Amino acid sequence: MTMCILTVDDSRTMRDMLRLALAGDEFEVVQAVDGLDGLEVLGRNEPDVIITDINMPNLDGFGFIEGVRRTERHRSTPILVLTTESDSVKKQRARDSGATGWIVKPFDPVKLIDAIRRVAA
């Protein structure tokens, strides 16, 4: 079954890399450019897993995750945080917001897919 992945990142480079990493029959990729856009895209799509950056304009990753979790429909949609931030305070904050897991940039495509599998229902 094709899995739908929503990626939220303000960097075009990163969006392109995520799309490339997930290219293939296994995943269908939907993209958003920041937290606000992410919530909007989420309104039109049913992703199986969400991957989001933290540092973004308009609505950052923390706010986005909280927004997703406030939506009844997405309370149990796994959210992976993809970030260069690795300090434990930020990680804890992400988790407190409702993040399911995290991946440190730059990511390895294999590990990324591993992480998706690890959280996907």
For another protein (CB under 8 A), the number of binding residues is: 56
Please report how close the Cβ of residue 38 comes to another protein at its closest, in angstroms.
9
Residues between 28 and 87 that touch another protein (CB under 8 A)? 28, 30-33, 37, 41, 44-46, 48, 55-57, 69, 75-79, 84-87
Q: Which of 10, 59, 66, 93 binds another protein (CB under 8 A)?
A: 10
Query: SS3 string of the chain?
Result: CCEEEEEECCCHHHHHHHHHHHCCCCEEEEEECCHHHHHHHHHHCCCCEEEECCCCCCCCHHHHHHHHHHCHHHCCCCEEEEECCCCHHHHHHHHHHCCCEEEECCCCHHHHHHHHHHHCC
